[in-house]
A and B are shown apart, each in its own frame.
Chain A
Amino acid sequence: MASIHLKNVGKRYPDGNRAVIDLNLDIADGDFMVLVGPSGCGKTTALRMVAGLEEISEGEIHLGGELINDVEPGKRDIAMVFQNYALYPHMSVFENIAFPLLSQGVPRAERRDRVERTAAVLGISDMLDRKPRTLSGGQRQRVAMGRAIVREPQAFLMDEPLSNLDAKLRVQMRSEISRIQAELGITTIYVTHDQVEAMTMGTRIAVMRKGVLQQEGSPEVIYGQPANLFVAAFIGSPGMNFVTAELSRRGDDLVLGIGPQELVLPPKTLAQRPALLEHESGSIVIGIRPEHLSLPPTDNSAKLKATVERSEMLGAERLLHVSISAKPVSADEIMEAAEEVSAAAPAMLQDGSKGDEVALIARIDPSIVPQPGSTVELGVGLDRLHFFDLESGRAVL
């Protein structure tokens, strides 16, 4: 087991296209690092550079303190699980799992012993004689894991290994992979475009966009303190609500003008985010997580009048879609993040937020059933608001 360090790593293709730009990551021994981002953000390229399957154009990659830029993939002592598993179809499950050991010249008896032990860990002992095509998606996934585990490598790399599974199996395999990784304690880099996977599996998350690392940290930090609009919009389901507000000072108080409505920020907000002063008498983007909009409002929360559009009953909670009179935010970052959730999402965002109307989603108690068209007062957790610079999209701290 070993740590992995990426230092100013870049990937430049002959046509000048840059897939990864100046990537710096420190992955500690035993960490479960998830690289997450929309399609084409460079996460898989970064993973393949660590694997040695992609040449490194710039920078250095260290594994266990050793520079591995020019080390052959097979000699890096790293195992990889591929998106479509890449199980050799002509070999049995046993032969598939034993293949890396065969390449390493491990004696036959030890090979058998290690394959059987690995199969027992994964619960596939009764499938060793079967061919991959006779296995279900979940079983194939386990075999692919087995092929990686059996080598007892220094690090695991996983390239969207759950993307071919159905939703239920994905949830099951998510915890299975986390359990195995925790048991073995092997440093892991896991690539996914699914932010739920990232949040639930990673001990650390690195969010990427257009080849650039946006933010790296624990799931709590990524969710609670997003560094910019993109991270804020990408992480969380449903995503963060965004609205453009006018920031002004009235006496000692900072006031947010959201359309015709006003929210007075508590004094401690300025103490926590001194940079807000730079945006005084100007526009700023505020972000509110759906769970920080309450109905009915709690006693100490500020209130925001909104018109109910529709609601979605999800069982344990209800998603309330409302609109408020305010200036929408249509930054590229938000659109790109929304597109990752669903191809139709950007259009929906713009549909709901046209002219001076902004669509918001609140996560409320399922027993409350507001009527569409009615006006409600939503509670806003002012201490949970996020502020972003309108131009750069960076969080205002």
Chain B
Amino acid sequence: MRDRYSRKTLIWEVLLLLLAIAFCLPLYLLVSISLKPPQELFTSPLTFPTDLHFENFSRAWQARNSGGMASAMISSVIITVGSVATLIVIGSLSAYAIARRPGKLSATLYTLFVIGIIVPFQLTVLPLFVLFRSLGLIGTYLGMIILWVGILTPLTVFLYTGFVRTIPRDYEEAARMDGAGLVRTYVQVVFPLLRPITGTVAILTGLFIWNDFFASLIFLGGSGRETLPVAIYSFVGEYLTQWNLVFAAVVIALAPLLVFFLIAQKQMIRGFSGGIRG
């Protein structure tokens, strides 16, 4: 048998390894700077820290900017979890109806949702701000959840609709034959089948909301309910910026997301590639 590990394979492997290192570099810089003392930051920014200053994390956590990291973490969790959960419920139900009840109404709604993905959020900020202010939703968690659900429902519906269309109708028909009503069919049969795309939606929208700075600054600014990106930004001063603390705060902000990604990555990849295994 011919040796399949050829010189070409080796070159490919080296290239891919270099590419992987290039992707890991920002993460390395983030972690290494977050562990450095301020002096070392400017003298040797790219090297690994000589002493590991773990106290940077506690200092960043205890800093009192914008209500503090703990409060910002709570805000981020409430807004992200609330929005993502609502998006999953509304998005999956809407997509199910669109995919399973073909007709002019479904087609029109689907087109509207797709247009919703295209419209840039920044265009809608001003009228939304005025509307939210008149409704008393500025500076509230509910307001932020409504905002994110509104902004991300089109993308969610788009993703779910594509996936629902790949699910054979046999499952629903079998459930109907088995005497299950519409609600039982959806809750016990259809929704569990959507798990891969639900993972994808949760990660995509969760990342977007968790990392957002712009909307949080505008709709939550000064309320004491700012999210993590806004709280981190408050480390950046006009005359003095403690970059090591900024990086430590970013690492703290990143941690929950990383854990979630590690748990859900398998579902997410299946959601992207489509289909379910019988």
Residues of A within 8 A of B (CB): 51-53, 72-75, 78-80, 82-91, 99-100, 103-104, 132-133, 147, 151
Contacts and interface: CB of A to CB of B under 8 A. Distances in A.
A89 to B, nearest CB: 5
Contacts, number: 73
A78 to B, nearest CB: 7
Contacts of B176: 52-53, 72-74
Contacts of B193: 88-90
Contact of B276 (A53, A78, A89): A89
A357 B277 CA distance: 52
Contact of B180 (A74, A82, A87, A133): A74
Contacts of A103: 175, 178-181, 184
Contacts of B168: 84, 86
B182 to A, nearest CB: 11
Closest 9 CB pairs of A and B: A74-B179, A86-B170, A100-B178, A103-B179, A86-B174, A90-B192, A103-B180, A73-B176, A80-B177
A104 B195 CA distance: 26
B189 interface: yes
Nearest to B173: A53
Given A103-B178, A147-B178, A86 B173 contact: yes
Contacts of B272: none
Interface string B154-188: 00000000000000101101111111110010001
Contact of A99 (B180, B181, B192): B180
A111 B153 CA distance: 40
24 contacts: A52-B176, A52-B177, A73-B177, A74-B180, A74-B181, A78-B177, A80-B173, A84-B168, A84-B170, A86-B168, A86-B173, A86-B174, A87-B278, A88-B171, A88-B189, A89-B193, A91-B192, A99-B188, A100-B177, A100-B179, A103-B178, A103-B184, A104-B179, A133-B277
Interface of B: 168, 170-171, 173-181, 184, 188-189, 192-193, 195, 276-278
B195 A53 contact: no
A90 B189 CA distance: 8
A203 B271 CA distance: 46
A232 B276 CA distance: 43
Nearest to B174: A86
Nearest to A87: B278
Given A84-B170, A84-B278, A133-B277, A90 B195 contact: yes
B173 A82 contact: yes
Contacts of B170: 82-84, 86
